[in-house]
Amino acid sequence: MTDRAHDKDTVWTDAKLPAFAPIAGDHIAEVCVVGAGIAGLSAAYLLAKAGQSVVVLDDGPVGGGETGLTTAHLTNALDRRWAELAKVHSVEHLRLAAESHTAAIDMIEHIVEAEGIDCDFRRVSGYLFAAPGDAVRTLKDEVEAAHRAGIGDAVLVDRAPLAEFDSGPAVCFARQAQLHPLRYIAALARAFEREGGRIYTRAHVIEVDEESRQDHVVVKTDSGATVVANEVFLAVNSPFLPRVTLHLKQAAYRTYAIALQVPEGAVPPALYWDTADPFHYVRVNTARESSGAREYLIVGGEDHRTGQVNDEDQRHARLEAWARERFPYAGPVAHRWSGEVLETVDGLAYIGRLKEGSRVMIATGDCGNGMTHGTIAGMLVYDLVRGHANEWSALYDPTRVNLSLHTASEYLREGLSSAAPFADWVTGGDIDDPSKLAPGTGAVVRRGLSKLAVYRDPQGQLHERSAVCPHLGCIVAWNAAERTWDCPCHGSRFGCTGKVIHGPATADLKAVETERPAKAA
């Protein structure tokens, strides 16, 4: 697979991850968690500590999805920014959002200390500074909104603490944090197992059946093995349930990151962000390599809708140019990668039951704050399973519909963007003849009424699959930088030969046959 964290050139490759056996036979548990990332393992760990019987399934290795592609900013200064969130949410909801993200950072710190996890967790400050052309008023508005959310220690300072780069005025957020995400996840998995939890990898879930058995849910895998559980938590980046409604309220974006080696101590440990659109995000990380410890500057940004552009190399280049202008002492780019972000229309994740009374729970829509949203999910799912009241439930309820004017415009904008690629059904292909494909490249080709996703491997062999995403029938696009097929409608992604590697699709691209777009639900 080409889109697993362990196969990508991230800065987190020094982590030693535990290996787990594939699922064999049928299992029974009180809770089945699908997904061994930050959300799934946080919930599984907390539930196992409370004595629950928990099985975790993942079709890849532990931390092999989006958790391993994060830059691991642990913050209550949310990516959507408080001034924007204040246009959508009441003051009460702003305070609950700030409280929950603060509690998530505290929970991670507690687990790190309780389990003695060596993951470079440290408290740092965060600094938001204005992009060129943005007024200081933008920063003042953010301070005022943060105060309304209950973050009273957010203050405007003269500049971020960077020697070579004068950021100008910045908002300082105290008691943020950072860590090494894969070392944390690896230790969390081991701690869960010590508590009696069971983890199975290479377990690709294809169906969750809540109807056929009273008071139980059946989780089916592509190997034929099943897990029967009282409750199921779909802790995947983009769940396949509900099939349609959820994806009308969120959109998939690619985000990019690079890591450049810098002299030790050159960049003060902190989190840094600007107000550009899309914005840039920066932190430092010390990697333990065979040649010794090295300090890296991690710079991210350049977001775009998944599958709707194909200029990934240029985006990495723009990140590098932005970084060198502000950190001239940085060395060559040592790592570059990308990840997927699910943006909801109102800026907060969807966490909770599929519907009232359902035994299936989901967590999605991280909005760029996956580490804290994932930990919130673990805490909230723990309370849902245990029958505890949680005042965050309504805020994150997946069935919520925010009808403010601001979110209505977001619904319209993202809906039009998701619907536009369906027009690809009536257009020509990227090329007219597969023989024109160079080794290691792919393209969409029209053949009669069908569109094919055609890839020529490095040995010259052609691989042809349907170009129709099996989720809702959109035409996939070739991602040249990562050699994947990406769905521009709802963010499903497939390997170069058609194997599904990211939901909401659960099936591979089909063998070649005539297709028709799915009817709108």
- Domain of 265, CATH number, reads 3.30.9.10
Same domain? For 278 and 141 the reply is yes
Asked if residue 115 belongs to a domain, the reply is no
pLDDT for the residue numbered 521: 37
pLDDT for the residue numbered 407: 63
pLDDT exceeds 90 at position 472: no
Asked if residue 440 belongs to a domain, the reply is yes
135-175 per-position pLDDT tens digit: 999 999 999 999 999 999 999 999 999 998 999 999 999 99
Report yes or no: 199 and 193 within 8 Å, Cβ to Cβ: yes
CATH classification at residue 199: 3.50.50.60
pLDDT for the residue numbered 302: 97
Same domain? For 299 and 394 the reply is no
Q: Please give the average per-residue pLDDT across 316-325, as a whole number.
A: 98
Q: Give every CB contact of residue 106 below 8 A, 6+ residues apart in sequence.
A: none
Same domain? For 318 and 458 the reply is no
d(CA 218, CA 34): 12
Same domain? For 201 and 275 the reply is no
User: In the chain, pLDDT over 70 holds for what percent of residues?
Assistant: 92
Report yes or no: 42 and 377 within 8 Å, Cβ to Cβ: yes
Same domain? For 156 and 224 the reply is no
Same domain? For 253 and 338 the reply is yes
Report yes or no: 348 and 402 within 8 Å, Cβ to Cβ: no
Same domain? For 303 and 430 the reply is no
Asked if residue 85 belongs to a domain, the reply is no
Tokens of 319: 């990140």
Asked if residue 95 belongs to a domain, the reply is no
Quickly state the pLDDT bin for 292 (edges 50, 70, 90).
Answer: confident
Q: Report the number of distinct structural domains present in the chain.
A: 3
Quickly state the pLDDT bin for 424 (edges 50, 70, 90).
Answer: low
d(CA 167, CA 161): 9
Same domain? For 436 and 290 the reply is no
Domain with 268, as residue range(s), is: 121-176+249-344
Mean of the per-residue pLDDT values for the chain? Answer: 91
> Is beta strand 27-34 parallel, antiparallel or unpaired with respect to 226-234?
parallel
Asked if residue 60 belongs to a domain, the reply is yes
3-state secondary structure of 48: helix
Query: What pTM was computed for the model?
Result: 0.90
Asked if residue 366 belongs to a domain, the reply is yes
d(CA 262, CA 277): 26
Asked if residue 304 belongs to a domain, the reply is yes
Same domain? For 42 and 152 the reply is no
Same domain? For 143 and 259 the reply is yes
Asked if residue 520 belongs to a domain, the reply is no
CATH classification at residue 469: 2.102.10.10
pLDDT exceeds 90 at position 56: yes
324-333 per-position pLDDT tens digit: 999 999 999 9
pLDDT exceeds 80 at position 430: no
From residue 260, how far is each of 14, 115, 287, 328, 331 by CA, in Å? 16, 31, 12, 11, 6
Residue 488, preceding peptide bond in cis (omega within 30° of 0): no
Same domain? For 158 and 232 the reply is no
Residue, of 309 and 12, whose pLDDT is higher: 12
pLDDT exceeds 50 at position 517: no
Same domain? For 371 and 315 the reply is no
